[in-house]
Structure 1
Amino acid sequence: MRYIIIGAGAIGGTIGGRLFESGRDVVLVARGAHYEALRDEGLRLALPGGALKLAVPVVDGPEALELRADDVLVVAVKTQDSVAALDAWAGRPVAGGGTAGERLPVVCAQNGVAGERLALRRFRRVYGMCVWLPASYLEPGSIEASCTPLTGILHIGRFPSGSDALAERIAADLKASGFDAPTPSDVMRWKYGKLLKNLANAVEATCGPLDGDDAAAARDLLARAVAEGEAVLDAAGIDRASEAEQTAVRGDRVRLQTLNGVARGGGSSWQSLTRGTGSIEADYLNGEIVLLGRTTGVDTPVNAVLQQTANAFAREGRRPGESTIPELTALVDSYGRR
């Protein structure tokens, strides 16, 4: 079985690198300067136990690779980039006949809950993955994964529900590569639970670290965002893993460590602004809550403001920390009066 990691950033690079390190067959897919660095110098993967330099095969797109019947496609791009990635791969021929969309499984290793639905329009066999993997990608060719003793916890299961022998086989490979990989029959329940945690991403991205003088106000704003999320999920009849369940699974098995004396800077949205990518995943995090609110008749002013603000930061090339918690709170409080 060969893993094709579509999007070799923080998550894809860590998963692919650790699978490759443990002897699995892996190909990374990257673009631009990141592709060139991986091609010329290999993947630099920093872990609490030390730095690795891995000569993982890398391509810059589907045209550079002949697909095999035993390939597993792991989509690790941000959800806003999913359609382009899925369209590029779904129609590619597979050795022995047929296309990737017809024959190959695709695993959505992404935040949010929309990626699986997008994939199922194009691929017959779709798997969801709930990703607990604090990692950073800030410079070409270099990934940092900050947790110990496990690198991360990756729930995997069929979409929309169920599990099967392939999920178990992927899980076994992940467990041999520094991860835990539960295989629940309700993986989306775990992804909806994680979605509520990711509502904080936009706040961190726009305001910077949430542990300064405004920490109490930040906690209050985030509590309001999560309360909206809980309300719309209840209104839509969507179950999710509770905070207690998630804490019990993680335990002390994914503890953040400093690497080279430097603490991790921030999550995925913070990293998008730091790298100046021009896009951010807020439409599929806070925006998912806004969408559900509009379909169920539940007001979601906090998440609407966070979505709009994060998107404006990405469009305008603004850096993390250029807003403040009081500014965001004022925008939320005035939202209903616009």
Structure 2
Amino acid sequence: MRILVVGAGAVGGYFGGRLAAAGRDVAFLVRKARAAQLRDAGLVIRSPRGDVTLRDVKTVDAASIDGPYDLVLLSCKAYSLDDAIESFAPAVGPGTLILPLLNGMRHLDVLTEKFGAAHVLGGQCIIVATLNERKDIVHMNEVASMTFGALEGGIDERVQAIAAELSNRGFDVYPDENVRQQMWEKWVFLATLAASTSLCRAAVGDILSAPDGKRLIEGIFAECGEIAKQNGHPIGEGLVSRAAATFFVPGSPLTASMLRDIMNGAPIEADHVIGDLIARGGPQQHDDATLSLLRVAYTHLKAYEARQAKTPA
């Protein structure tokens, strides 16, 4: 199976690097600067699951794609989706499947409109990783998993074939019969964490120590969960329990990657993670007389983006 990994950042680099280390036929679609860095230093993974240094990493750009790939693993940031699509479009042939690992749901609408639903799978990943100053991929704990499935539900032959190709490669693989539900539940979890920590510019433990901090997180989680329910994906008790064990731990240093991006003056996925969730919500998200907590958080994020747009590069 020919696999094209779009990007070689923390997510694409980790999963693609593990596949390449296991002998899979993997190429990375990257910009010239990243290609040069990979050529000089290799692709380096630092992880509790085992360190890897790959030499002779196969890289391509849009102009050098030499025909269709069997699987496109899409791991870009949401704000880079249009550019990514333009770059990897030459790799999509009649039998190509696109497995996106982006957060939220908007990207599914964009991808299916561009390539057709038959070419797009639902997917998500769970990993805490970043690039250090040397552009090594630093995996911060042992959790690294990928969940995927057919958008229409069920586990068909396509999903089974991909699961066989990806399994036992240094991360956990979960084919899922109802991947949209899994994606919605992750979205609720992530949006709660991103909205809460970005709005307060603080870690979970610091928010909990503030007056009404616990109520703030509870309120945002409830709003996100209600939107999921309105869209036919009520959250399960498993997510409720996981949220309680994550969001309400005194002293927790947990923050969302969105907050870390804000603190670094980097672009953020405000529209994809928070704005699109609001757009899919019911009357309480659109009633001009009521400003929900989620809308307050979104206003905060958009103000940050407006300020960054005026900041000289």
TM-score by length of 1: 0.76
SS at match of 2:46: strand
Question: Where in structure 2 are the equivalents of 1:12-161 lying within 5 Å?
Answer: 12-31=12-31, 33-55=33-55, 57-59=57-59, 61-68=61-68, 70-90=69-89, 92=90, 100=92, 102-124=94-116, 125-139=119-133, 141-148=135-142, 151-161=143-153
- Residues 137, 271 of structure 1: 8 Å contact kept: no
Matched, 1:290 2:278: yes
Between the aligned partners of 1:160 and 1:115, the Cα distance in structure 2 is 16
Between the aligned partners of 2:183 and 2:283, the Cα distance in structure 1 is 23
Matched residue count: 291
Matched, 1:172 2:164: yes
SS at match of 2:105: coil
- Residues 273, 314 of structure 1: 8 Å contact kept: no
CA RMSD across the alignment: 2.9
Task: Kindly provide the CA deviation profile for residues 82-121 of structure 1, in whole angstroms up to 9, marking residues without a partner as x.
Answer: 122113322x2x6xxxxx1644211111111121221111
Between the aligned partners of 1:11 and 1:312, the Cα distance in structure 2 is 28
- Residues 185, 239 of structure 2: 8 Å contact kept: no
Matched, 1:309 2:300: yes
Where do 5+ consecutive residues of structure 2 fail to align? 243-251, 286-290
Amino acid at match of 2:30: A
- Residues 29, 88 of structure 2: 8 Å contact kept: no
- Residues 127, 159 of structure 1: 8 Å contact kept: yes
- Residues 204, 254 of structure 2: 8 Å contact kept: no
In structure 2, relative to structure 1, the CA distance for the partners of 1:47 and 1:309 (3 Å cut) is same
- Residues 3, 70 of structure 2: 8 Å contact kept: yes
Between the aligned partners of 2:183 and 2:233, the Cα distance in structure 1 is 10
Residue 268 (structure 1) aligns with: 257
Amino acid at match of 2:224: G
Once structures 1 and 2 are overlaid, which stretch shifts more, 22-31 or 137-146?
Answer: 137-146
- Residues 232, 298 of structure 1: 8 Å contact kept: no
Report the identity percentage. 23
- Residues 136, 268 of structure 1: 8 Å contact kept: no
Matched, 1:203 2:196: yes
* C-alpha deviation, 1:162, in angstroms: 3.1
Residue 224 (structure 1) aligns with: 219
Once structures 1 and 2 are overlaid, which stretch shifts more, 185-194 or 28-37?
Answer: 28-37
